[in-house]
Homo-oligomer: A and B are copies of this chain.
Amino acid sequence: MTTQSWLSQLKAHGYRLTNARKAVVEIVATTTSALNPLQVYEAAKSTYQGLGLVSVYRTLEKLEELELIQRVHLPDGCNAYLPQADGHQHLLICEGCGKAEYFEGDNMEALFSKVAGKHGFSIHEHWLQLFGVCSQCELAASG
């Protein structure tokens, strides 16, 4: 289970397993939509009542260092986090419910070399995100 594996990795890196960290990891490791620190705090507090918002920030920072989560930029905020994808993947995000899914298999090398040549840049990295509506939200809207 992801939660346990993340806790093991924290431990393996010398971090102690505290109630605050367990509660935060439990939320972030299993979320299907990107969450900001306040959203994590509110969700995790129902598991561990004594949790402080500061510990959420601190734990997110560590999870990001360990590359277990990644920051996601959205139209209405740029500090939301999601479990990190394996390898090079891109995001597909539902504008209705916020559900985020990764996809891979973009093949944009041709585009990149065309643009690189035309503009005289050498390209190192790219961001690609798709926004749309998931089937569940589609149904909810039409039903």
Using A73-B78, A92-B115, A105-B114 as known contacts, say yes or no to A132 and B128 having CB atoms under 8 A apart.
Answer: no
Using A73-B78, A103-B115, A103-B118 as known contacts, say yes or no to A123 and B129 having CB atoms under 8 A apart.
Answer: no
Q: Mark A4-20, 1 if CB is under 8 A from B, else 0.
A: 00000000000000000
Contacting residues, chain B, for A108 (C-beta < 8 A): 106, 108
Q: Answer yes or no: A112 CB below 8 A from chain B CBs.
A: yes
Shortest Cβ distance from residue A80 to the other chain B in the assembled complex, whole angstroms? 12
User: Which residue of B118, B120, B121, B134 is within 8 Å of A120 (Cβ)?
Assistant: B134
Q: Answer yes or no: A125 CB below 8 A from chain B CBs.
A: yes
Task: Find out whether the CB atom of A122 lies under 8 angstroms from the CB atom of B131.
Answer: no
Task: Find out whether the CB atom of A132 lies under 8 angstroms from the CB atom of B116.
Answer: yes
- Quickly give the copy total for this chain: 2
Q: By DSSP majority rule, is chain A's interface helix, strand, loop, or mixed?
A: strand
Q: Answer yes or no: A51 CB below 8 A from chain B CBs.
A: no
Interface size on A, residues (CB 8 A): 35
Task: Find out whether the CB atom of B127 lies under 8 angstroms from the CB atom of A128.
Answer: yes
Task: Find out whether the CB atom of A125 lies under 8 angstroms from the CB atom of B132.
Answer: yes
Q: Answer yes or no: A88 CB below 8 A from chain B CBs.
A: no
Considering only residues 54-112 of chain A, those with a C-beta below 8 Å from chain B are 73, 78, 92, 94-95, 101, 103, 105-108, 111-112
Smallest CB-CB A-B distances: 10 pairs = A120-B135, A123-B132, A78-B78, A125-B131, A121-B132, A127-B129, A73-B73, A103-B115, A126-B130, A124-B132
